[in-house]
Structure 1
Amino acid sequence: MQALLLHSGRVIDPANGIDEICDVLVRDGRIAAVGRLEGDDIPGEVERIDCSGRLVLPGLIDTHSHVYQYVTGRFGLNADLCGVHSGVTTLVDQGGASCMTLPGFRKHVIEPSHSRVLSFISAYLVGGLEGHFYPQLYRPDCADIAATVKAAKANADVVKGIKAHAELGGFARWGTEVMQKAAAIGEQTGLPVYIHFGQLWPEPEEGGRDVDPDSIFTQVVDLLKPRDVLAHPFSRHPGGFVELNGEVHPLVRDAIDRGLKVDVGHGSHFSFKMAEKVMSAGIVPHTLGSDMHGYNTSVPAPAGTPDEHEHPDEEHMFKGTSRFSLVSAMTSMIALGLSLEQVIPMVTVNAARMVGMSNEIGSLGVGRVADISVLSDQSGRWLMRDNEGTEVIAERMLQPVFCLREGRRFDATASILPIPEVA
């Protein structure tokens, strides 16, 4: 493998305290040097890539993806579409695989993908099927604590957490019973539990219990441990970080102080209005996931998928745009007022901590596998909108240019990458 020199980019590596214009030398698929390189520092045969005016970052980590393609029907996207061809080197699939379907996920997604793919295994036996249509698949009887613990421990190289739900439809049907099982799996494996907040399924028309959405956060947090992850803090749906009165739930800060983490989980749930409320309360998420899937991204349904029927929660469908990525989610965070220096740790060093892999990914340490993302960084005025139709102006636009995965270059050519709309 030919040596590569990423020359004169703005290298930002929060894990190692680097933020300067310098070079990154890659040799044999690993990072050989970082700094201002010249003369004997550079091997004779090297491919020099001019990164002037670009950001050179540790390989981006998407903490919320859905890439169990084909098995999860319309839901799962192609891993490399969301990964290396979108400038992202590591994907964390949230709940696609279960204790029953994890071997298939390893064989047919993890192994053939150029992107590194990890799993937060589902707490439910069926995994991430199209549960919006078939919520009974996610009842308490469909969670097997012992089997899921066994699968997670036997596949510790790829299973880095547990995915569960704390949505209004589930609470109306079963209360906290499913969440108790998910929390037990997390305790027995020692892995973080990733909790979806907000209305995922519609409430049952008959036979469901009345639920105060503001009580859900309290009940769930009482079950959780440090390092567990609270997702969708900026959800427009009830039952999450923002109460019905428009105020941030009083226990959010307490939960963070207890060591729980917050992941944006952008996707269809994202609301600029809710984000402003939460962030004005001083709450800045630790990590950032894209939450792209087949319901909110314009990709063809897999061949053989049954004819589409009416979605039971049409508001879940994404209307803001049908093209987005982890990098465009980064731009959203900057448009909300966060600095670039605040956002980059969310998709690098903090994300690596979330998956327990700080010693392997999330930094540009010399000797590490050369997972590197290169982004353009432009100033101007661009229009961004969420699923509620709220529009904001972004004065800084990040876009993926290419990434290196184990030293191999992949250009950002994914068909789902958004086309910036000039304001």
Structure 2
Amino acid sequence: MGEAVGYDIVLKGGRVICPASGRDGVFDVAVRDGRIAAIEETILPMRANSVIDVSGKLVLPGMIDTHGHCYQYVSGRFGLDPDMVGVHSAVTSVVDQGGASCMTLPGFRKFIVEPKKTRVYSFLSAYLVGGLEGHYYPNLYSPECVDVDATVRAAIANRDLVRGIKGHAEIGGFARWGITVMEMAAEIARRAEIPLYVHFGALWGLPESGTNGEDADTILERVIPLLKEGDILAHPFTRNPGGFVNRDGKVHDVIKAALDRGLKIDVGHGSHFSYRIAAKAIAAGVVPHTLGADMHGYNTHVPAPAGTPAEHPDDENHPFRGQARFSLTQAMSSLMALGLSVEQVVPMVTANPAAMLGLADRLGALKVGYAADISVLDDNRGRFLLRDNEDTKVVTDRLLTPAFCLRNGERFDADAPILPEAVAA
């Protein structure tokens, strides 16, 4: 009789949900040499060096956050430590949305991607400066600050890292420069043969409509014809003008046609996520394909409300003062509180983003031979209070919170200081 196969780690007794393989049930998952070695109903504990009891928890393919801001230091106060929003939040892969540009991509690779434990990918900025606190310096995002040829070359030369392009379709840019910048971003993505991820919803502080004859409610219908199959419409549930829901409270007619021709939707939760808007959009059939948290330096350092002592000199004018904290798992819980099932939400952070990145052959699934990127979540039951930044409150009976993850088989506890605390209702 041959010698028993040994494993480094066995995760025992959790509910394994893997949309890519169609697996949903209680299984043991074994890891050896940084890879998934077995998924079975029962794996004997004596076959493993370490056994972790995950009964009652959700065991998912390593979660992929499709909307991060983690070009730390270079993008000013905006950029976070990728490991804080990544492995220390039980997220194994993060997509930085527009932090790096064709000019700054080498530094992003050397100082962010290579040394960190989290897998970090880039949706390269269409703008030469990348994500430099645009609401403070909007003129850096003009057509003169886009180099189509240079950005295409950088994307093609760095395909292992650059999985898409980031652009902004919002009233501030349109009122200044019209649709020109979006036309350039779409050309970059088309020539590089990668997806274009488009921010919708007011961002840079100009009026909703009227400035230079622009109207936020016309942006979607003008931009969508520029886009190709696989491009991504972000922030469907934004409370800001220029999103999926118009000023009359209706979902734009062009959304259904866009989905019919293969465009995708990413939640891009952020500070502008609205339960009010989300309920309307979901009722109209807008179910996102992917779910990015959109955490950054402003909405994770959230000062106390006005009238309380400021912790930092600039807190008095902080754009998100007194607003709610969130995380990828809390965003998942919000969608569940709005009526989506856990079976609908899990693909948004696993199989679907892996497909969006063109990496479904190695990420987003629990399959033997794949890297042991595994997220383990606590599935809390009770009565919990969730709040958005319109101060709408929702009570839910189910709250997902991160427990830990394995990244290439290495364990990281979910101990990031930015994670929100559960609030009992």
Question: How far did residue 288 of structure 1 move?
Answer: 0.1
1:246 and 1:174 map into 2 onto residues whose CA distance is 27
Task: Give CA deviations for 1:48-89 in whole Å, capped at 9, x if unaligned.
Answer: 100100000000000000000000111001110000000000
Q: Is the 8 A contact 1:295 1:318 kept in 2?
A: no
Partner of 1:375: 377
Structure 1 residue 58 and structure 2 residue 51: aligned? Answer: no
Partner of 1:418: 420
Partner of 1:329: 331
Structure 1 residue 119 and structure 2 residue 122: aligned? Answer: yes
1:296 and 1:319 map into 2 onto residues whose CA distance is 10
Query: Measured at CA, do residues 43 and 154 of structure 1 come closer, stay the same or move farther in structure 2, by a change above 3 Å?
Result: farther
Question: How far did residue 309 of structure 1 move?
Answer: 8.7
Partner of 2:309: none
2:26 to 21, 26, 33: 21
Matched ranges for 1:50-199 at <5 A: 50-199=53-202
**Structure 1 letter corresponding to 2:8:** A
**Structure 1 letter corresponding to 2:26:** I
Task: Give CA deviations for 1:78-136 in whole Å, capped at 9, x if unaligned.
Answer: 11000000000000000000000000001111011100000000000000001111100
Q: Is the 8 A contact 2:384 2:397 kept in 1?
A: yes
Query: Measured at CA, do residues 268 and 368 of structure 1 come closer, stay the same or move farther in structure 2, by a change above 3 Å?
Result: same
Question: How far did residue 212 of structure 1 move?
Answer: 1.6
1:197 and 1:271 map into 2 onto residues whose CA distance is 14
TM-score normalized with structure 2 length: 0.94
Question: How far did residue 169 of structure 1 move?
Answer: 0.4
Question: How far did residue 299 of structure 1 move?
Answer: 7.5
**Structure 2 letter corresponding to 1:275:** A
2:21 and 2:315 map into 1 onto residues whose CA distance is 50
Q: Is the 8 A contact 1:58 1:372 kept in 2?
A: yes
Question: How far did residue 419 of structure 1 move?
Answer: 0.6
Task: Give CA deviations for 1:284-324 in whole Å, capped at 9, x if unaligned.
Answer: 00000000001111279xxxxx974986xx7x526432x32
Matched ranges for 1:348-387 at <5 A: 348-387=350-389
Query: Measured at CA, do residues 309 and 146 of structure 1 come closer, stay the same or move farther in structure 2, by a change above 3 Å?
Result: farther
Query: Measured at CA, do residues 277 and 319 of structure 1 come closer, stay the same or move farther in structure 2, by a change above 3 Å?
Result: farther
Task: Give CA deviations for 1:189-241 in whole Å, capped at 9, x if unaligned.
Answer: 11100000000001179x94121211100111010001000000000011110
1:34 to 35, 39, 51: 39
Q: Superposition RMSD on alpha carbons, in Å?
A: 1.9
Return 5+ residue gaps in structure 2 as ranges: 1-5, 304-311
The number of aligned residues is 411
Q: Is the 8 A contact 1:318 1:387 kept in 2?
A: no
Structure 1 residue 277 and structure 2 residue 277: aligned? Answer: no
Q: Is the 8 A contact 2:302 2:323 kept in 1?
A: no
Structure 1 residue 215 and structure 2 residue 218: aligned? Answer: yes
Task: Give CA deviations for 1:222-278 in whole Å, capped at 9, x if unaligned.
Answer: 100010000000000111100111100011111011100000000111000000010
Matched ranges for 1:237-256 at <5 A: 237-256=240-259
Query: Measured at CA, do residues 389 and 24 of structure 1 come closer, stay the same or move farther in structure 2, by a change above 3 Å?
Result: same
Which secondary structure does the structure 1 equivalent of 2:186 belong to?
helix
Question: How far did residue 37 of structure 1 move?
Answer: 2.9
TM-score normalized with structure 1 length: 0.94
Spell out structure 1 runs of 4+ moving beyond 4 A.
none
Query: Measured at CA, do residues 4 and 381 of structure 1 come closer, stay the same or move farther in structure 2, by a change above 3 Å?
Result: same
Q: Is the 8 A contact 1:268 1:318 kept in 2?
A: no
Partner of 2:291: 288
Query: Measured at CA, do residues 244 and 298 of structure 1 come closer, stay the same or move farther in structure 2, by a change above 3 Å?
Result: same
1:264 and 1:282 map into 2 onto residues whose CA distance is 14
**Structure 2 letter corresponding to 1:282:** G
